[in-house]
Structure formats: C-alpha cells, structure tokens
C-alpha cells in the first residue's frame, strides 16, 4: 500500500474520502512487510482473533496477512484497541488464534501444544516488555543468562560479550536491579532478549516506563541490534518517535493492517496517525463538507 503525503500538512475533506476508501479495504495488493529478496522471520495468513461469543464477540484481528522480514526493525502502531498487542502475542505464540495460520521461520506454530510453544519461545524468541521483569535477587549478568540457565544451555561467550558491550553493561553486571536506573534495567532486559541469539525479538512498548533520554538509549540499542548484530525486531508502540527508529511501520486499525510506511520519521508517522484519527472520527453517514455557497467542496463532486 503506497504512502499518502500532503505537502501542506493539512487534511482536506477530499483527502479523507480518498483515504477512507483505501482504509476500508484490507491490504490485498501485496503482503505488508514483504521484501521478496529477504528471508522471512515470521508470517501470518488469515490471522483472526476473537474474544467472547455471540453478540458479545469482539474481533481483535480480522484476517491479517503479514510477513516479518529477517534482519529488519518493524514497528507496529495503531490506536488503543486496534489489535497491535494482540498481533504481537499471536505471532509470538503467547496467545491462541481463532483462525488462520502463523509461522516462525518455516515452523507453523498454530496448533502446537503449550509445551511445544514454551520450548519454541524459550529457544527461538526474545521478549522485551514495558515492565522489565527482572529477578530482584539476581545481578544483571544472572538476569541476562537466566533463560539459558533454565534451559540448561551454555551461552555463546563471544556473542554474550558482544551484546554486553553493545548495550554498555560491562560495568553493571554485578549490580542488582535495585541498584540500576530504569534505563539500565531495560538495557539488561534487552540483553536478556538478545543473549540466546533468537530468531526474532518482540518488544511491547519497551520505552513505556522510561524517561525520554533512557527511552532514546534503548531504542538506539535495538537499532544497533539490527544493524550490528543482525537481529530481527518487532516493536509495538504508540510513540511516533520510537517508530522512527524502525525500517518499516505497520499501521493497524480495527484489527486490520491498513497502511505501512518505509523509512519513517517521527513527523511522517505522526501525520499519518492524525489522518487516521480524522477518518475514524468522521461519522460513516456524514455528508461531504460544504463550500461557502452550500455546494460540496472542490474535489467532492
């Protein structure tokens, strides 16, 4: 789906009509996120997630098709209730699906038993959340290696050293979480996600509990993880500034991917989100905006 740009930065009623037509149609021209020359870290086809039953059914995801390209930083954005966190949870095998299929690499995860999913998440996926989820009685290094310790695996020392140095944690490894700042704790959580060299890292609002400076540091480290360490990152966020660190932004609305943006900036992402807000706020049966003489404005004929 192509970009829609407005040189003036203003949204006209004509623009709303054209954009509304685009947003009312599920992405069908191509699969969002797909770059044919690249490998695919995760993908979904017809991914549907519903909560409740009968008249109380809420459709969180509506037949979503998406490809997550390996070695890229993908951000997922959308208003509250758009399905962005649900999409991440289903792609990561943290939640069951109501319909469709999900693959991690070449492994279809829909239908796997919980024990198999637990092993898959432990061995192949890294997670970062808004809460740091560090064990208070363990020091930074012990928290970083904890998932591998539980799995009975020895870390790759060379890789672990590279992760620790990239995240600037070398002089904090002996500190417990209470002795670290919020930004440092999130860096430890980031190192924990990277330590086992997973195929894919899912980050759900990773800067949500951080001040702006610490948040920028963590986003910079995620960017470095992709550029220097070859990782694949999927980040759910509501912050245009955070999304600007990604290679691709996927926009969700009402459980569907309604648009995407490559090479985003904070300004272009914010402008796109404002356009979606205008469209969502406009009543479906609202007449076109009238001109001074009561006739439809230019572009509405």
Q: What is the pLDDT of residue 203?
A: 94
Residue 66, C-beta contacts closer than 8 angstroms, at least 6 positions apart? 31, 32, 33, 43, 44, 47, 87, 91, 250, 257
| Average confidence (pLDDT) over 184-207 | 91
How far is the C-alpha of 2 from the C-alpha of 155, rounded, in Å? Answer: 43
How confident is the model at residue 76, as a pLDDT? 96
The answer to whether residue 148 scores a pLDDT higher than 50 is yes
| Residue bearing tokens 């870290």 | 41
Domains of the chain: 40-281 (3.40.50.300)
CB 120 within 8 A of CB 93: yes
List the end-to-end C-alpha distance of the chain, in Å, as a whole number.
25
Total-model pTM: 0.76
Instruction: Note the pLDDT of residue 206.
Output: 87
- The answer to whether the CB of 235 falls within 8 A of the CB of 250 is no
pLDDT band, very low/low/confident/very high, at 21 (cuts 50, 70, 90): very low
| pLDDT, mean of residues 58-86 | 93
């Amino acid at each position: 789906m192509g970009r829609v740009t407005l040189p003036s930065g203003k949204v006209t009623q004509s623009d709303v009509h054209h954009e509304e037509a685009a947003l009312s149609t599920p992405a069908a021209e191509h699969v969002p996120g797909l770059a044919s020359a690249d490998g695919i870290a995760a993908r979904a086809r017809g991914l549907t997630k519903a909560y409740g039953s009968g008249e109380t059914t809420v459709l969180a995801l509506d037949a979503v098709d998406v490809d997550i390209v390996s070695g890229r930083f993908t951000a997922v954005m959308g208003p509250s209730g758009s399905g962005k966190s649900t999409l991440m949870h289903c792609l990561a095998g943290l939640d069951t699906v109501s319909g469709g299929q999900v693959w991690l690499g070449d492994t279809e995860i829909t239908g796997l038993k919980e024990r198999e999913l637990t092993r898959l998440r432990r061995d192949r996926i890294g997670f970062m959340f808004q809460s740091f989820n560090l064990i208070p009685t363990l020091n930074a290094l012990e928290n970083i290696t904890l998932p591998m310790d539980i799995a009975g695996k020895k870390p790759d020392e060379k890789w672990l050293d590279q992760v620790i140095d990239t995240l600037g944690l070398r002089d904090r490894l002996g500190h417990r979480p209470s002795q670290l700042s919020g930004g440092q704790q999130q860096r430890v959580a980031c190192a924990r996600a990277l330590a086992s060299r997973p195929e894919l890292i899912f980050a759900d609002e990773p800067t949500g509990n951080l001040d702006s400076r610490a948040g920028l540091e963590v986003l910079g480290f995620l960017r470095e993880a992709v550029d220097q360490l070859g990782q694949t990152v999927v980040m759910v966020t509501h912050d245009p500034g955070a999304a600007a660190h990604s290679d691709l932004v996927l926009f969700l609305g009402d459980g569907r991917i309604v648009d995407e943006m490559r090479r985003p900036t904070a300004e272009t992402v914010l402008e796109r989100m404002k356009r979606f807000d205008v469209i969502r706020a406009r009543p479906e049966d609202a007449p076109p905006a009238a001109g001074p003489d009561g006739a439809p404005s230019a572009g509405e004929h």
